Amino acid sequence: MPSSMKTIEDVADRNVAGVAGAPTTPTPESSENPGRHDNLPPRMAVDVSVVRDIAALRAIEGEWRALASIGSGGLFRGPDWLIPWWQAYHATLGAELYVVVGRAIEGDAAGTAAGEIVCMAPLYRRTIKVALLDTRELRMIGDAGPRPPALDLLARPGWEDRAGTAIARKLIDDAASWDLIDLEPLADPSRVRANLVQRLAPHGFAVESSPSAGGATRIALALAPVDATDVSRIVTTPGDDLVALRKGMSALRRLSRLEWADRDEPSPLADPEAIGLLEQVAMELGKAGRVRLARLDDAQGEACGVALVVDDGDRAVVLAMAVDPQSGRASARLLHAEALAARARGCIALDVVHGAVEYTLPPLPSSKQPVLAVRVWGHSTTASVGRTLSSVSRRARRARETPAVAAAQARAAWTRIRSAAASVAAYDRYCLYRGQLWTRGIEPVAGLELVRFAEADYDKLDDSRRADLLEQLAFDEATARTQWRRGDQTVLATLGARPAGIAWAARGPIEAPELGRVLRMSKYDAYIHSVYVAPAARGRAVAPVMLEHLAKELRATDAYRSWALIAADNQASLRAFQKASFTPVCDVIHAKMATVDRVVCRPPDPEAQELLGLEP
């Protein structure tokens, strides 16, 4: 090739350096290592450093926020989301900060000053086991727990190509410190990401790119109808009302567990890190009126759909949403109401982040917003083994997958089988609650008294008092004597002279008649059952007061944890246990068909499985 001819890459590199005003003479590094960076410009217009501690990251928080706010979707690319995420998840993930920051060496005609941040790659580093080898990963901050619509590498307009090149150079220089770069969910398209990958591939790094799970569905609001949906049962809570927000978040987690139960997976909203993250962000953004929690209630006043909505520039984002699987088109009603509310706030789009299920959308224009997963394997032996294992696993997965037509036929057949079985099968659903026997000091209503009620106390009652117990509390003498003789404790509530409620607590392994199996409790556990409130005393917090009284009695006998199994449709009992500081653990489904009798926990909580004697 004549010496006057240049490759396209040479011209591109020269142009990049020329735009930045950088000289084209080789640096000492490139002279001593010919070919090491042969596809990168010898001098960069960007000075790159790595932030490795949270104090240094907070020091550039303002500049970071300004960079992220350029364009649309700045919230989830900036510190207002990513720093709270880091505080919530870094300890759980065993992560270390690796935030690549690029500053302009010289100013440009667009007004960028020398020393100004022009690009950022908010990454973190952690070590995991792959094929028994310690694999060092670089990942995007924000990629675990509640996911936003997309994450991205940041660059000022006009600096995208130089930013990708600068970040690539830094990763190449630090290649000895990582085995795998695993980035998702990445926005698509992205010039920074495309340039980064283009620069890494020629240096022998194996690059894999594929569609990623997640993303969002965008509902356009410009053509939204002005006639509102039925919002009579939709309750909204602003982000600065902590008490109401936590109550709504509790309903969100409960419904999310039901959705993810069909996949036998735990809900990403159920862990304490997610709870803390969402509450912190909601409280901070709520001060500026950028957060609202919308709840759709059913005819009984119970939440059947909940959505946490965050305003991000000219769009609103449904960051977390859950709908009762048995509530039909509740998702369409809730999203329609939120779309109209977002339009009234001046937003042009409503993004619904994809979760466990694909929600029924309102009749408004919508489009998918896909995201990418990019993996870059390093040069180490560990990276080679990991890449080989990943490739083998991927081929094995493809071999197991049924072709699309056959899969559709199989799903249709399974639907017919389930429909046929539904006519002869019976399913009972219960909610398993766990309490640590704490007390909140719930004040009893005037005239409500609670006493420990033993078999000897019952024997002292005359016939009229016994008849009153039978009438008001559906008291069964034979069952009560059996429970007393196995050692159950009882608390009796009276309001005036009339029985108001009764509650029982058992210790040791006992049979749960609802499930037909023995509960395997430890010596420090108790099982609360047969809680009943007289019809005339309902609505006066009798049950929560009895539960608190039982908690004190049980703590005095060295019990430190209690369990309760409540029918899923018994809303009054569910509210009573929640008010008494009990926490929902999982749904227990009892399936009975012919000779089949099966109990399933969803999600599969280990402690619940041990209690019910189920195999993990």
Query: Could you read off the pLDDT of 92-117 as tens digits, one per residue?
Result: 899 999 999 999 998 888 888 889 99
Contacts of 417-424 with C-beta under 8 Å, sequence gap 24+, read 421/593, 424/593, 424/594
Q: Judge whether 131 lies within some domain.
A: yes
Lowest mean pLDDT among 120-134, 199-213, 260-274, 535-549: 260-274
Structural domain ending residue among the three candidates 319, 334, 369: 369
pLDDT band at 530 (very low <50, low <70, confident <90, very high): very high
The better pLDDT of the pair 508, 65 is held by: 65
Residue 108: per-residue pLDDT: 83
Indicate whether 2 pLDDT > 60.
Answer: no
CATH number, domain of 487, equals: 3.40.630.30
Domain that residue 251 falls in: 218-369
Say if residues 127 and 136 touch (Cβ distance below 8 Å).
yes
CATH number, domain of 157, equals: 3.40.630
Mean pLDDT of 71-87: 89
Residue 41: per-residue pLDDT: 42
Residues 68 and 167 in one domain: yes
Indicate whether 599 pLDDT > 50.
Answer: yes
pLDDT band at 392 (very low <50, low <70, confident <90, very high): low
Lowest mean pLDDT among 114-128, 279-293, 593-607: 593-607
Q: Within 379-528, where are the H helices? A: 381-400, 404-422, 455-459, 463-473, 477-485
470 half-sphere exposure, CB direction, 13 A CA radius: 11
Average pLDDT, the chain: 81
SS3 assignment for 127-173 = EEEECCEEEEEEEECCCCCCCCCCECCEECCCCHHHHHHHHHHHHHH
Residues 183 and 50 in one domain: yes
Residue 225 DSSP one-character state = -
How many domains does the chain fold into? 3
Say if residues 216 and 358 touch (Cβ distance below 8 Å).
no
Q: Judge whether 532 lies within some domain.
A: yes
Structural domain ending residue among the three candidates 328, 346, 369: 369
Residue 265: per-residue pLDDT: 65
Q: Which two tokens stand for residue 157?
A: 């307009």
Q: Judge whether 435 lies within some domain.
A: yes
Residue 412: per-residue pLDDT: 54
Residue 107: per-residue pLDDT: 83
Residue 533: per-residue pLDDT: 93
Residue 11: per-residue pLDDT: 33
pLDDT per residue as tens digits for the range 245-291 = 777 888 888 888 777 765 556 777 777 888 888 888 888 888 888 88
Mean pLDDT of 23-38: 38
Residues 24 and 173 in one domain: yes
Q: Judge whether 432 lies within some domain.
A: yes
Residue 97: per-residue pLDDT: 96
303-312: strand order across its sheet:
234-238, 291-297, 303-312, 315-323, 349-353, 216-220, 366-369
Q: Judge whether 168 lies within some domain.
A: yes
Residues 547 and 575 in one domain: yes
Q: Judge whether 67 lies within some domain.
A: yes
pLDDT band at 3 (very low <50, low <70, confident <90, very high): very low
- The span from the CA of 228 to the CA of 215, in Å, is 27
Residue 279: per-residue pLDDT: 84
Residues 175 and 258 in one domain: no
Structural domain ending residue among the three candidates 158, 186, 210: 210
Residue 134: per-residue pLDDT: 85
Residues 296 and 259 in one domain: yes
Residue 263: per-residue pLDDT: 57
Residues 166 and 241 in one domain: no
- The span from the CA of 447 to the CA of 282, in Å, is 41
Residues 226 and 181 in one domain: no
Q: Judge whether 157 lies within some domain.
A: yes
Q: Judge whether 281 lies within some domain.
A: yes
pLDDT per residue as tens digits for the range 554-593 = 888 888 889 999 998 888 898 889 888 888 888 898 887 6
Residue 542: per-residue pLDDT: 93
Residue 453: per-residue pLDDT: 94
- The H or E element that residue 284 is part of is helix 272-286
Indicate whether 160 pLDDT > 60.
Answer: yes
C-alpha torsion 278→280→281→284, nearest 10: 150
Residues 199 and 238 in one domain: no
- The span from the CA of 236 to the CA of 306, in Å, is 10
Residues 190 and 257 in one domain: no
The better pLDDT of the pair 289, 82 is held by: 82
Residue 497: per-residue pLDDT: 83
Residues 168 and 222 in one domain: no
Indicate whether 394 pLDDT > 80.
Answer: no
Residues 203 and 224 in one domain: no
Indicate whether 596 pLDDT > 80.
Answer: no
Residue 317: per-residue pLDDT: 92
Contacts of 522 (CB under 8 A, 6+ apart): none
Highest mean pLDDT among 10-19, 106-115, 538-547: 538-547
The whole model's pTM is what? 0.61
